[in-house]
């Protein structure tokens, strides 16, 4: 009985097994940002994974025809990064256009995560 209690007490002191989790990603646009046409739309994408991450894809989508974009960034041997992007808003984008910035990151074992931010042009 004493040995069983000692075994249970020892088991309670061990660290739980670490679980595999997806990376962290956050798209950050300045609060109150309302891009104008023509103009620019600066944003930051923060990514983190304790085991390291492989790549980050940044996509810009809008309700205006022909205004969008897509970029892929590779980060060898990186566990944390902040990427600053500056999208150019072309002339002719009407006021009230919804612009969505999406950041997707994948870690080295294939798990992915995404985040997005939406702004409206003025």
Query: For residue 105, which of 62, 53, 68 has the smallest C-alpha distance?
Result: 53
Residue 3 pLDDT exceeds 70? no
Residue 13 pLDDT exceeds 70? no
Query: For residue 92, which of 64, 53, 61 has the smallest C-alpha distance?
Result: 64
How much is the average pLDDT of 83-92? 94
pTM for the model: 0.81
Domain positions in the chain are 21-120
Query: For residue 46, which of 99, 76, 85, 19 has the smallest C-alpha distance?
Result: 85
Contact 40, 96 (CB under 8 A): no
Q: Which CATH fold topology does 21-120 show?
A: Immunoglobulin-like (2.60.40)
E strands, the chain, in order: 24-28, 39-62, 69-89, 98-107, 112-120
Determine the pLDDT at residue 31.
82
């Amino acid at each position: 009985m004493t040995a069983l209690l000692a075994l249970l007490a020892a088991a309670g002191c061990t660290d739980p097994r670490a679980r595999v989790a997806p990376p962290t990603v956050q798209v950050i646009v300045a609060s109150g940002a309302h891009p104008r046409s023509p103009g620019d739309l600066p944003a930051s994408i923060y990514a983190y994974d304790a085991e390291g991450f492989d790549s980050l894809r940044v996509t810009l989508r809008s309700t205006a025809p022909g205004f969008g974009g897509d970029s892929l960034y590779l980060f060898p041997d990186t566990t944390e990064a902040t990427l600053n992007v500056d999208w150019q808003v072309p002339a002719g984008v009407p006021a009230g256009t919804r612009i969505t910035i999406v950041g997707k990151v994948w870690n080295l074992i294939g798990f992915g995560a995404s985040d997005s931010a939406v702004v409206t042009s003025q």
